[in-house]
Amino acid sequence: IWLAWLKPVTGHHGFVYALDHPIPEKPLHSTVDKPIAQQDKMARLAWLDELERLFLKPVGLSLQDTPPTPSPLLAGFCSVADWLGSRSDELNFCYKAGPIDDLRDYFDQKCREDAPRVLALAGINGKPKPFLGVQALLKRDYQPRQLQTLVNDLPVTPGLTIVEAPTGSGKTEMALAYAWRLLAANHADSIVFAMPTQATANAMLQRLEKIATTLFEDKPNLILAHGHARFNDNFLKLKQTGKTVQENEEAWVQCNEWLGQSRKRIFLGQIGICTVDQVLVSVLPVKHRFVRGFGVGRSVLIVDEVHAYDAYMYGLLEAVLKAQHEVGASSILLSATLPQSLKNQLLATSGKAIETAQTHAPYPLISWSDGKANHAFTLPDNEQPPLRQVQVECHESEGLLPNAALRQRIIDAAEQGAQVAIICNLVDVAQQLARDLQKLTALPVDIFHARYCLHDRQKKEDTVLKHYGAEGKRASGRILVATQVIEQSLDVDFDWLITQLCPVDLLFQRMGRLHRHERYRPTGFESARCTVLLPTGNDYGTHGLIYGNTRVMWRTAQKLQTCPDQIIDFPAAYRDWIEPVYSEEAWGTEPEAVETGFTLFEEKLAEKRILARQMLKWSEDVALMDDDENVRAVTRDGEFNVSVIPYLDTARGKQLLDSSILDSLSEWQQAEALAMNTVGVPKSWGKLLPEKDKEGRVWLAMQQGDGMNLLTDSWIPVRPQAGGTGQQISLQALLCGSERWELALPRDDMELAALQLLISLVQVLLPPADKKQWVERVLRPLPPEALTTAIQDYQGWFQVDHPDYPFMQMSYRKNNSARESLDKLFTGINTSENSKFVNEPNLVAAVCQSCCVIALFNYANNSPSFGGGPDGGFKYGIRGTCAVSTFIRWDDLRSTIWANVLSQAFLNQNIPDWKRAEFKKPTWMERIPEGGKISASSIDLLRGLFWQPGCLQLGKPIEAGQCSCCGSFVPARIDHFFRAPYGFTIDGFWEHPHSPLALTVKHKKSGSDEIFEYLRWNGSAPAWTQLSGIVVERTEEIQKGTKRIQRPALVVKQFKSYLGSNSKQVQLIVGGYRNFSAKIIERRHELISLSHGWESHGNVVHELVDHALKYLGSLSSALYTASEGIKSSDGMIKGIGFKYKVKQKMHYSLQDLGKVQFYRRSEDLVIRALADIYFNEPVPTFIMLDKGLKRICESVFAELTSPYQHDPELFRTLAIARRSLQKHIREIRINPHQEDAA
C-alpha cells in the first residue's frame, strides 16, 4: 500500500516507474542459500520497522495505514537529498562502522549539524529579501509604468498569470517583481526564467545579474543553462566566483560541475536563466527529469515570448504548466502578441479556461487563474500606454526582395544617418542581400542570423547590441540585414524597418524594434516606418516552408493592403489585427490555393500534437541520457539543425574557422574549439552533406586538393605521442620534424601495414651507408634537404592517381576486370573472400586515398590472395600467403622506422644482389610478364618491397565526406576498385627483410634439398610460443638426415648486430594473419619486450619458451585423462567424455579448452618474464615462472573439471588425472643450460 511512496523514493538513479506500472520482479539468485535469503528478508523488514518508528509514527501513521498521496515533487526531492547526503567526509555525514545505539538520536544529530552545513555549501537554500516594490528593480529615477503598476494588486497566492503588453513596456520587470512578491510570501524558493533562444537567454543573464542581489540575501546562485552556456563569458565569470568560494572543496566542486554540465542545477539555485527546452525536459523521457521538475516546482516559472513556439512545444509546455498547478507552484507567461485561442488553451492548464472568448478584450491585460476562478487585471485610463503609430508601406516584389529602387532608398536613408534594419525569413536570402548592399555603399552593412559558429555568434550579438542597442552610438547611419533572431527579446532600436511578409503576431514583434527608446531621429524618420515586402501573388515560395499557415500569411497581407491611411495604431492593433487574422472561422474570401495550404498546415499541426502526447506518454517508460542531442531530439520535434564543422586541411592538421589547429589542442580545448566552430544548418541539407561522425557532426572540407603523392603530400595517419586526435602528415613532417608521433588507425593490422609501408619507402629512398649513419638516423631527425634530394629520382613513382602508373595499381589489358566494393580490398571485412572474421559488411563504403593506399600495400604484402579465378586465380604476395612480420619498436614512429631500415653495408653482407637485379622499378611501372617465370634473384629490393601480385585499380574518386575507415573528413573518397586475375611464377626464394624464415635441409645420397619458408602463425598459440623463430638463430635436427635452420628477420638481425648489446630493453612488434586457404581466421598484432642481453642468450630465450610449453603439455595430458578415462586392472574407468560443439561443425575437447585458458592466463606471465629476466642469472625468473604456471595449470584443471566433481562415477578418474598433473609438474626441471648460466 506504500508503493506510491516507495517508487519516487527509490528513483534517484534516474527513472521512476509510473504508479500504474508494475515493478519488475528481481528475486535473489538461485545460488543464494535459503537461510541467507531469510536473514536478508528479516533485515529488510527490521529496517522498515525502524523507518516506521522514525518517520510515520511521529505523524500518527503506520505501515498498515493507507498513506496520503505523495507530492509529485517527491522523486526530485529524494534525488537531490541523496546527492547532498552523499557528501561524506571528515566533517559531514561521516561514516561510522560501529553500531548506533539510538537511530533517532543519530538522525536528529545529522539533521541538526551536518545537513545545514551541506545545504549552505550547495547554495540551494536561498533567502529572498523582503519585497520592496517594482521600483527597486528599475533604474534610478525611473517610475513604475503601465502593467508594472498592477503588481501590488495581483493575488499573493500560487497561480497561472498571463501578461499581454506591448514590446518595450517593461513586462520583464513586472514579472520579476510579481515573482519577488511570491518569494517573499514563501510561495516559492527560486525563479526560473525561460527564453525562446540562446541569444535572448544570454541577454537576460546580463539583466538579471544586476538585480539578483536585490531579490536575494547573501550570494545568490545565478545560473545559465542551454547547449552553449559553458562558453558564455559572463556565466564563466559567475562560475569562477563560485569556485573561488569552494576552492578547498575539490570533491564538492566536481559534484557541482557534474550538475552544471547536465543542466540540472539550474533549477536548484536561486535564479535560473535557460532556453525553454531545458524546462520542457522536466516532463520528457530524459534521465532525472524529476530533478528538473523538482527545481521548477519550487520556483516561479517565467516564460518569455510564449507565442513563439510550435504546436509540438505547446503540447509539452502545457504539460509543464499542469505540473506547476498540480504542485501549487506559479507560472508567469509573457507576450505582446498572443492570440485569444492560444491564451485560452494555456489558461486551461490551470483547470479553468475562459468560458466565452473576448473578441475585444482590453489591452494591455493580466489574466490570472488558480484553477478555481479567472481574474483579469486592467489598467486605468491614466496608465494606458500612449498611442504609438507605425507608418506601413507595402511593396510587392518577386521573391519578397527589395528591387533596385528600394535598395537605393535604403542606402540613401543610411547616408542620412538612419539606422535601417532589413529582416529576412531565410538565412541565404539575408546573406545575399547583405552582399548586394555592401557593393552599393561604403557605410557599414552588418549581417546577423542564427547560422554562425558560436565563436562568431557571440561577437555578432555584441556588435548588434553595441551599434543598435539602447546604449548604441549613432554618429552615422548603418544597415543591419538580419533574420528572425532580432524579432524577440533583443533590445535593439531602428529608425526604419524593411521586412519580408510573416504572420501578423511576428510582424508586430518586428515592428517592436522601431523607435524603442526616446532619442533623436534623422530627418524623415521622426515617425516609425515599416516597409513590408509582399509576394506578387499567393505563392509564398520557400517562405511558406518557414511559415506554413497560408491562411494567416494571406490574411496578414490583406490587412496590410487595406490598412486605413497606411497607419497602424498600437496598442489597439494587438487585438484588432491579431484576433481576426487568427480567427478559426473562414473569412470566405480566401483563395483556393490558400485554403489548400491551410488544410495541409492543420494536418501537420495535428501530427505535432499527437507526437507531443506520445512523447509525454513515452516518458513513463523510458529515460534517455541527459545530453544536448537527446534534449534537442525530444523538445524540438526532431527539427533541429545539423551540426557542420568547416575546416581547412593543412600540413599542421585541421584548421577551424577561428584559425585554431584542432590537432594541436588538448582534449578539453578540442571539445571547446569544436563547439565554438560548429555551424548549424537546416536538417533538410543532410542529404547534400557528408555522413555524420559518431557525435552527429558533419566535417566539411573548405577546399579540394589534387591527387595524393606519398613522397610530398600529407597522408600518413598519426597522432601526437603526448596525446591528441588523429591527423595526416607528410613524409617530411615525420622524418625531419622534432614532433614525436605514433600511428593512428582504427585497426592494428592497418597500423602494421602502414608502418611496413613507411619502412619500405625510407628503405628505398634513404638507406644509411653504414652503422654510424644508421645510428645517427635513428637518434636524430633527418635534414630536410636530404629528403628533397632523395625523392628527386622518384617523382611520380608514388603518385596515387598518376595517369600512366598509379601507385601499386595495374589495369588488365583484356578488359575483363570486375568492379568490386572496397570491402574486398580491406582484409577482414565479412563480404571479402579473404576474411570471415572480424568486421561487418560495408564497413569501408567510401575511403580516403591514404587508407586505400595502405590497404593496397597490405593486400600485396600480408594477405592471402583473392582466391581462384577464371584465368588461373589471383596470386599471393612475394612472401607467400600470410607471413609473419617482425619489427623493432623504438621511442616513436620516426625512430621506429629508421630502426628497421637496413644499411647499405648490412645489405651488401646479407643480400649481395640487392642493387644488381634485372628489374629496378616497381611492378606497376615495369609489369610482371604475364604467364611468365621470374627469377627471384632478378627482383631488386625496391621491386620486392613493393611487389604487387594482382591487377588492381582504384575507382574514380567520389564527393567529399568522412572516410569510413579512419574517420577523417576528406575532399575526395574512393568507393570501389577493379581487379582481375594475373598469372606468373617466381623461380626461387626472395628473402624479405621483414620476416623470420626457416630453412629445412634434407640430406640425400644424391645431394641436399633446401626448402625455404617464412614463419606463419600455427593455430591459436600466442606469439611467445614461436619466439625462438623470431629472435633466435639456431640449427636443430628434426629427424635423422634433416635439420631445420631458423633465422630472425634481417631487421632484427641488424639490430642485434648494431645496438643489441647497448640497449637495456627492446620491444618487438610481431603481426600477421592466420588463414585457411584464401580465408582469414584471425588477425594478430603483439608487442613483445625482451630484457637486456637477449641478443647473446638466444638459448635461454628458447629454453624459457620451451619450459612454459612443458606446463601446457602437463595440463593437456591431465585433461585428456579426465576426459577419456583410463584402463585399469578392473577394466575401463569412465571419463567425462566432454566435447563442445561450435556452429554445428567443429568439436572442441576438454584439453582444447584447457589450452585456450592456459594461453590466455599465461601470456602476461611469460611476456613479463621475457622482459624482466636477467640473462646472466636466469634461474630466479624460471622459479617465478614455475610458481605462476603451476598455479595456472591447477586452477584451469579445477575449473574445467569442477562441474563433474560430485559425480560418483568420476571420483576416481578425476583423482587420477589430478595426481597425473601434479606428477608431471614436479618432473619439470630447470634446464641444465640455465643452471650453468647461474
pLDDT digits (tens, 9 = 90+) for 496-525: 999 999 999 999 999 999 998 888 899 999
pLDDT of residue 833: 35
Cβ 701 vs Cβ 971: under 8 Å: yes
* Most confident of the ranges 283-297, 542-556, 637-651: 542-556
Mean per-residue pLDDT, 1079-1094? 72
777-835 pLDDT, tens digit per residue, is 999 999 988 998 899 888 789 988 876 788 988 865 444 556 787 877 886 543 333 33
Between residues 495 and 1006, the one the model is more confident about: 495
Between residues 294 and 124, the one the model is more confident about: 294
pLDDT of residue 368: 94
Between residues 199 and 387, the one the model is more confident about: 387
Angle between helices 1150-1172 and 1098-1124 (to 10 degrees): 160
Least confident of 281-290, 587-596, 600-609: 281-290
Strand blocks (E) in 49-199: 160-164, 190-195
User: Is residue 1094 over pLDDT 90?
Assistant: no
Band (659; pLDDT cuts 50, 70, 90): low
Q: Cα(67)–Cα(4) distance, rounded to whole angstroms?
A: 9
pLDDT of residue 705: 42
Among 335, 368, 330, which residue's Cα sits nearest to residue 179? 330
Q: Cα(105)–Cα(102) distance, rounded to whole angstroms?
A: 5
pLDDT of residue 109: 85
C-alpha cell at position 93: 555525514
- Burial of 495 per CB tally in 10 Å (0-12, 13-18, 19+): buried
Between residues 1138 and 904, the one the model is more confident about: 904
Domains with residue ranges and CATH for the chain: 3-122 (no CATH), 157-382 (3.40.50.300), 386-570 (3.40.50.300), 642-703 (no CATH), 727-987 (no CATH), 1097-1237 (no CATH)
Helices (H), 231-339: 233-245, 250-262, 276-280, 289-297, 311-326
Band (1132; pLDDT cuts 50, 70, 90): low
Q: Which helix (H) or strand (E) holds 579?
A: helix 578-581
User: Is residue 122 over pLDDT 90?
Assistant: no
Backbone region of residue 722 per phi and psi (left: phi > 0; alpha: psi in -120 to 50; beta: other values)? alpha
Band (1115; pLDDT cuts 50, 70, 90): very high
Band (630; pLDDT cuts 50, 70, 90): low
User: Is residue 968 over pLDDT 90?
Assistant: no
Band (95; pLDDT cuts 50, 70, 90): confident
The residue count for the chain: 1238
Q: Cα(284)–Cα(317) distance, rounded to whole angstroms?
A: 11
Instruction: Count, in order, helices (H) and strands (E) of the chain.
Output: 39, 40
With helix as H, strand as E and coil as C, how does 655-691 read? ECCCCCEHHHCCHHHHHHHHHHCCEEECHHHHHHCCC
Q: Cα(338)–Cα(1166) distance, rounded to whole angstroms?
A: 77
Between residues 81 and 726, the one the model is more confident about: 81
User: Is residue 420 over pLDDT 90?
Assistant: yes
Mean per-residue pLDDT, 967-981? 76
**778 CB-side CA count, 13 A:** 19
Between residues 488 and 136, the one the model is more confident about: 136
Strands 1131-1133 and 1139-1142, bridge-based pairing: unpaired
- Burial of 184 per CB tally in 10 Å (0-12, 13-18, 19+): middle
Looking at every residue in the chain, the average pLDDT score rounds to 82
Least confident of 808-822, 867-881, 1065-1079, 1081-1095: 867-881
Q: Cα(943)–Cα(983) distance, rounded to whole angstroms?
A: 18
Band (128; pLDDT cuts 50, 70, 90): very high
pLDDT of residue 322: 93
Q: Cα(809)–Cα(98) distance, rounded to whole angstroms?
A: 76
For 384-414, the DSSP string reads: SPPPEEEEEEEEE-GGG---HHHHHHHHHHH
Q: What percent of the chain has pLDDT over 90?
A: 27
User: Is residue 251 over pLDDT 50?
Assistant: no
pLDDT of residue 716: 92
Maximum CA pair distance of the chain? 129
673-732 pLDDT, tens digit per residue, is 887 788 877 777 777 778 888 877 888 886 544 568 899 888 999 988 887 767 888 999
Those residues with Cβ within 8 angstroms of residue 684's Cβ, 6 or more apart along the chain or in another chain: none
Q: Cα(653)–Cα(650) distance, rounded to whole angstroms?
A: 5
Between residues 436 and 815, the one the model is more confident about: 436
Cβ 277 vs Cβ 631: under 8 Å: yes
User: Is residue 594 over pLDDT 60?
Assistant: yes
Mean per-residue pLDDT, 438-445? 82
Least confident of 274-283, 348-357, 446-455, 477-486: 348-357
**292 CB-side CA count, 13 A:** 25
pLDDT of residue 1148: 62
Tally Cβ neighbours within 10 Å of residue 519. Answer: 11
C-alpha cell at position 440: 552599393
User: Is residue 1022 over pLDDT 90?
Assistant: no
Q: Cα(573)–Cα(376) distance, rounded to whole angstroms?
A: 20
Tally Cβ neighbours within 10 Å of residue 902. Answer: 23
Between residues 359 and 266, the one the model is more confident about: 266
Among 1072, 1120, 691, which residue's Cα sits nearest to residue 877? 1072
pLDDT of residue 300: 95
User: Is residue 13 over pLDDT 90?
Assistant: no
